[in-house]
Structure 1
Amino acid sequence: MGFVWMLVCAAVLACVCTQEVHGYDAYFGKPLSENRSNFLATIDNGTFLCTVPVRACRKDEGRRVDGTCTNPKYPSRGATLTPLPRLLPARYGSGNTLRPAKDGSPLPSTRHLRTTLMGDGHFRDKEVSSLATDVFVFSFVDNVDLFYLLRYAVLSDCCINNQVPNLADPRCIPIEVQQDDPFLRRTGIRCMNLTRVETYQDYGCLPNTLPAERYNRVTPLLDLSTVYGNTEARSREIRANSGGLLAFRMEGDREVPAGQSPFCLRNQPQNLEIACYDYGDNYDGNLLMGTYLTAMWFFREHNRLARALAAINPCWDDQQLYDTARKINIAQWQYIFYYELIPEMIGYKNALDSGVIYNTKGHVNDFDPKCEPGVYHEYVIGCRWFHTFQSGVADLYRNGTYIGSRTVIDDTFRSGILALNNTEADLTFRDIFQPSDKFDYVLDPDLGNRIHGEGQAASDIGAIDMMRGRDAGLPPYNEYRKLCGMKPAKTFEDFHDTIDKDKVVFLSRLYEDVDDVDLMTAIYVERMIPGGYVGPTLYCIITHNLLLWRRSDKFFFEHGGFPAALSEHQLMEIKNTRIARILCDNGVGVTRVQPFAFLKLSPWNNFVSCDAIPGINLMAWQDHMCMEEDKHKKKK
């Protein structure tokens, strides 16, 4: 992690050296007091690691790359290094250890829970496309980092010889494997490697007497930080400084980010896999197949917008072109996520009824200065449920014909594959042709038993998801039932209103008490709500988080009434776009696509020419001052 933090420190130094800033406490979100400053001075790199530099907020400015001033009342919230808010207070054991059962004993093995309550298999969904999977995964790295993967998937060993849990290291939370495990009983593997996420306590920012809180290195917003970076210094590094463009190079006829990231740890140079793309967030951007493919599309979309704006407004300089292209790109991303993807996940009527989306063409001014920007712990953990609709196999298509498959988990940290053998185009058409896995109680076998590929002897994403809930200190499921308007259970039979009886029987055998049941375990087995693909508790968590993003973000694309807001005309143009248009404009070789691309091809959602896919008319951003200047030049 040392290299990563050299980059962070350099970014903070660059900001401090070039502009007057005010130091805010990263965790508490308040200006640094003299006592707090003196305390941080006693910690190695305490000022870098535990503070957020904030330039004074201005009424006339737009969205900052570093996330500060997203809500001027809480100027440091929305930046990197700020904590994830909680719907309910943390629940840990003594000294921030994992929460024990009600009787003080350890909670059941999450591997045992997962294999008892969920199956393994390949079942394709009848409606949703793989594109929905990839874009949903991309949405996560846009607002929470996955740096902790380096901590345990690559660098640590919390299971000695895959048999003995390493209990001496407080960073370790190994997952016990039962002797009669249905898949591993003959392997000799008796535990799975896992470490805790990094917290403010790890860096000395907080004492262990306070609840452990996750340390987040990206802006906790829907702001395309994967493309643009999380600091002003980083954003300057990836710009072309001409025409508003992001720096690029050509790989054949493919436009890709310039520079080289060091994070493609599984590239195979012997097979000529040497490309590793220098996105704004060059770690998360190169991490997973879904992230490096989606990041590429939105990277190209920025440059497409900048070039088109330059043609419309020849008097604009580099900065104005860059800022406007970025603003449009982020607005498109937020619109696609809220109005196209989320309604497919939770149901259009549910999204409308909850206030997540609105049936209006104009501005929706629901910004609330009292809301602090962030992403809820419960959202970050709970939405891991979507691993159920991720396939471990990527089918490759060329000219509409299946030509083979790739194993998804083996392509983690391996974006160099995009440059070879037409793979980017083949994977793009995979998102068009291949259905997602079915939304059910079943995991793809690779995800359930070898999520880290050859890097670990055995690894189970479902068991990890449940353990991450404990690592985050999430209270039991029963407390979230109360939060979400359901009756708290006194007996296991009281769960029948949300969980099928056969699953409740297993829960009663695995847990000693209803107040022991983990939130994530319950999310994995709840029945789906009418019209959606999620259970009632996850629906509640998702809507809480999406409402927070809307209301806490002054610059959310639908908000109006401030200088940097979209005009009514511009907002209407944003609402003309869709993910199919992004594919048409930026996907390699895409000339035809289904109009509703998050859904699979069907007789009612069949291929149409890209010419028939609606998009933004950028004339809504025409600057009439440029036209007057051009007329004046012609007269001369």
Structure 2
Amino acid sequence: MPFFRSNAACAIHRGSDIRQALQRQQMNGITSFIDASTVYGHSPRLQSSLRDLPGLDGKLAVNDQFRDHTGRTYPPSVANLPSACRQGPHVERVECFRAGDSRLNEGLPLICLHTLWLREHNRIAEALKHINSHWSPETIYQETRKIVGALHQIITMRDYVPKIIGEESFEQYIGPYRGYDPTTDPSTSNVFATAAFRFGHGTISPILQRLNESFQMHEHFPHLRISSTFFSPWRIVKEGGIEPTLRGAIGTPASTASANMLLTEEVTERLIIVNNSEFMDLASLNLQRGRDHGLPA
């Protein structure tokens, strides 16, 4: 399998000793703050490319070709066309979407989440412009981003993390927010990003369920194997929008890893990476990334 090593970086800083200076570390180009950078991008250039600057209303850019059956928007297409995303049979071509995180096209639930946050930003921006008609487009954009960033923090720290590590561990190691501490190192540790954080790969279900408004199997859009949904935004645009997939994500428990099945074969035998014709193995990639970063056993 093809594998690209991470860029190396020197870890020299105030207080570093020679042992630290000689350690190979890897660069993390994404912010470690919970600031909704998955929506807005992690660089000024990407941030600018995602904004609807000609609109003068502080909104994010939307897809100019497709909307759902109620007129709601989708993320814009990538700039370089034709894109590498898979296409459905006998349907109009749907290009890869563009958002603050380049991985949004990897699966349908990711596309749904990015679409939701795009719509939420534009909804809030429109409301703020109505309340504060004297605000500039830049002010509307930045104030909306503050609100969306706060929503990300609430969902992550109140609703998600306690369910992952348990209420008791959350109280012991994290506890209530006590204000910003400039002496705290906010960066993500190498061992967490490269090993611990990938626990989520073991929660992937082999089947993506699509449900109707009664949370039953959808009459028109059946369940799918995960491997048939990789890099397939056409399934969102042409098969009912984001709602069936969102209901499936809400109404389906995550998979539980067991000793003989840590990751589903959908991602170990049939994983697709864009611009690569071979099937990939997510478990092998994770293990090799650990070796690349020199993680302890």
Aligned partners of 1:388 and 1:440 also within 8 Å: no
Tell me how far apart the structure 2 counterparts of residues 472 and 268 of structure 1 sit (CA, whole Å).
Answer: 36
CA distance in 2, matches of 1:310, 1:427: 32
The 5 A counterparts of 1:569-584 are none
Q: Which amino acid aligns with 1:275?
A: E
Give, in angstroms, the shift of residue 196 of structure 1.
Answer: 4.0
- Per the TM alignment, residue 248 of structure 1 is displaced from its structure 2 partner at its CA by 2.0
2:267 pairs, out of 447, 452, 473, with 447
Query: Corresponding residue for 2:39?
Result: 227
Deviations 1:537-593 (A, max 9, x none): xxxxxxxxxxxxxxxxxxxxxxxxxxxxxxxxxxxxxxxxxxxxxxxxxxxxxxxxx
Amino acid at match of 1:433: G
CA contact (8 A) 1:261 1:276 kept: no
Aligned residues of 1:267 and 1:273 also touching (Cα < 8 A): no
| Distance (whole Å) between structure 2 residues aligned to residue 473 and residue 195 of structure 1 | 15
> What is the aligned counterpart of 1:374 among 187, 191, 197?
187
CA shift for structure 1 position 420: 0.7
| Distance of 2:76 and 2:288 partners within structure 1 | 38
Quote the residue 1:177 is aligned against: none
**2:160 is the alignment partner of 1:341:** yes
2:217 corresponds, among 391, 397, 402, to 402
- C-alpha distance in 2 between matches for 1:259 and 1:446: 27
CA contact 1:392–1:445 (8 Å) conserved in 2: yes
**More strand by percentage:** 1
Counterpart Cα distance in 2 of 1:288 and 1:210: 39
d(CA) in 1 for partners of 2:67, 2:170: 41
Specify whether residues 196 and 280 from structure 1 end up closer, same or farther in structure 2 by C-alpha distance, changes over 3 A only. Answer: closer
Match of 2:205 among 391, 395, 400: 391
Q: Does the 8 Å contact 1:389/1:437 carry over to 2?
A: yes
Aligned-pair distance for 1:295?
1.4
* One-letter amino acid matched to 2:166: G
Give the C-alpha shift of residue 432 in structure 1.
2.0
Q: Distance in 2 between matches of 1:289 and 1:269?
A: 14
**Contact 2:88–2:235 (CA under 8 A) maintained in structure 1:** no
TM-score by length of 2: 0.80
Amino acid of the residue matched to residue 256 of structure 1? Y
User: What is the alpha-carbon distance in structure 1 between the residues aligned to residue 250 and residue 200 of structure 2?
Assistant: 19
Work out whether residues 447 and 461 of structure 1, in 8 Å CA contact, stay in contact via their aligned partners in 2.
Answer: yes
Q: What is the rounded CA distance, in whole Å, between the counterparts of 1:273 and 1:217 in structure 2?
A: 32
Please give the residue correspondences for 1:309-320 in structure 2 after superposition, counting only pairs within 5 Å. 309-320=128-139
In structure 1, what is the equivalent of residue 291 of structure 2? 470
1:418 equivalent in structure 2: 236
Structure 1 residues not aligned, in runs of 5+? 1-192, 202-208, 476-517, 519-636
1:402 partner letter = M
Distance 1:316 1:391 in 2: 46
Asked if structure 2 preserves the Cα contact closer than 8 Å seen for 1:240 and 1:246, the reply is yes
Please tell me whether residue 279 in structure 1 is matched to residue 119 in structure 2.
no
Change (3 A) 1:196 1:210: farther
Amino acid at match of 2:167: Y
- Cα distance change, pair 473–447 in 1 and its aligned pair in 2 (3 A): same
Output the amino acid matched with 1:316. W
**Corresponding position of 1:240:** 52
In 1, distance between residues paired with 2:286 and 2:120? 33
* Cα distance change on mapping 1:415 and 1:217 into 2, 3 Å: farther
Please, what is the CA RMSD of the aligned residues?
A: 2.6
**Counterparts in 2 of 1:163-242, with a 5 A limit?**
193-200=1-8, 210-241=22-53, 242=56
In the TM superposition, residue 430 of structure 1 has moved relative to its aligned partner by 0.8
**Quick one: structure 1 residues 461 and 233, their matched pair in 2 at CA, closer, same or farther if it must change by over 3 Å?**
closer
Q: Deviations over 1:323-377 (max 9, x none)?
A: 11100101110111011001111111210111x231xxxx621x33233332111
What residue identity is the alignment partner of 1:391?
A: S
Question: Structure 1 residues 232 and 370 mapped into 2: Cα distance closer, same or farther (>3 Å)?
Answer: same
SS in 2 for 1:255: coil
- Number of equivalences: 269
Correspondence 1:66-145 to 2 at 5 A: none
Q: Using the alignment, how far apart are the partners of 1:275 and 1:254 within structure 2?
A: 18
Q: Which amino acid aligns with 1:447?
A: V
Could you list the per-position Cα deviations for residues 505-553 of structure 1 after superposition, in whole angstroms to 9, with x for gaps in the alignment? xxxxxxxxxxxxx2xxxxxxxxxxxxxxxxxxxxxxxxxxxxxxxxxxx
Given residue 251 of structure 1, which amino acid in structure 2 is its aligned partner? Answer: R
> In 2, distance between residues paired with 1:210 and 1:196?
22
1:460 aligns with 2:292: no
1:394 Cα offset (Å): 0.2
Quick one: structure 1 residues 343 and 240, their matched pair in 2 at CA, closer, same or farther if it must change by over 3 Å? same
1:172-220 deviation per Cα after TM superposition (whole angstroms, max 9, x unaligned): xxxxxxxxxxxxxxxxxxxxx142433137xxxxxxx954433334333
Contact 2:78 2:98 in 1 (8 A): yes
Cα distance between partner residues in 2 of 1:398 and 1:333: 27
Structure 1 residues 440 and 216: alpha-carbon distance in aligned structure 2, compared to 1, 3 A threshold: same
Counterpart residue type for residue 378 of structure 1: V
Task: Describe the shift of the 1:265–1:214 C-alpha distance in structure 2 as closer, same or farther (beyond 3 A).
Answer: farther
Residue 428 (1) aligns with residue 246 (2): yes
Q: How far, CA to CA, are the matches of 2:106 and 2:23 in structure 1?
A: 29
Output the CA distance in 1 between the equivalents of 2:3 and 2:23. 18
Q: How far apart in 2 are the matches of 1:452 and 1:280?
A: 21
Shift of 1:439: 4.2
Would you identify which runs of 4 or more consecutive aligned residues in structure 1 move more than 6 Å? Answer: none
Partners of 2:51 and 2:270 lie apart in 1 by 38
Following TM superposition, by how much is the alpha carbon of 1:228 offset from its aligned partner in structure 2, in angstroms? 0.8
Q: Structure 2 stretches of 5 or more lacking a match?
A: 10-20
Aligned mate of 1:251, from 57, 60, 67: 67
Q: Give the Å deviation of 1:385.
A: 2.1
CA separation of 1:374/1:225 partners in 2, compared to 1, >3 Å: closer, same or farther? same
